Amino acid sequence: MKKILGIVMLGLMVSLPLKAQKEAITWYSFEEVIDKVEEQPKMVLVDVYTDWCGWCKKMDRETFTDKKVISYVNENFYAVKLNAEDAKKKFKFRGKEYSEEEMARAMRVRSYPNFIIMDAAMENITPLPGYWKADPFIEALVAKLENFNP
């Protein structure tokens, strides 16, 4: 009996983290999104952050774990994480090589967190700077999409 109980407990311990992992925003690299928008056009949400940014970490912990935010972002955007201080990770975009740091500068991001909304042609549409709680973040994204997807 103890053996069966042990197996059941082990199964629960393994399955709970797997369930939690499924309920998350699907984050892509910038280069992955370049290919994805060609296959299936969709708006792009770029989360420009730094490792030292406390508000960025708070967004990751609180806003990006909210089920409504996860659902809305995954359904309407390809989400990208872009470290504004990473000069090592390189990728090609429109025939030019960029680091994540260079791309953040090209997007004119100077404060963190900052979210850049791009259309399916990978053109910057609008920034959405600052920390956002879940419901206001969704409302801001909905308003931006309504403006650019009549």
Q: What is the pLDDT of residues 12-58, one digit of tens each?
A: 554 445 444 558 999 999 999 999 999 999 999 999 999 999 999 99
Rg (CA), the chain: 18
Q: How much is the pTM? A: 0.82
Any idea what DSSP says for residue 95?
T
Q: Which two tokens stand for residue 82?
A: 């872009």
**Could you give the percent of the chain with pLDDT greater than 70?**
84
A 10 A CB-CB count for 8 gives 10
The pLDDT-based confidence of 2 (bands split at 50, 70, 90) is low
Edge-to-edge strand ranges of the sheet holding 43-49: 27-28, 77-83, 43-49, 114-118, 124-129
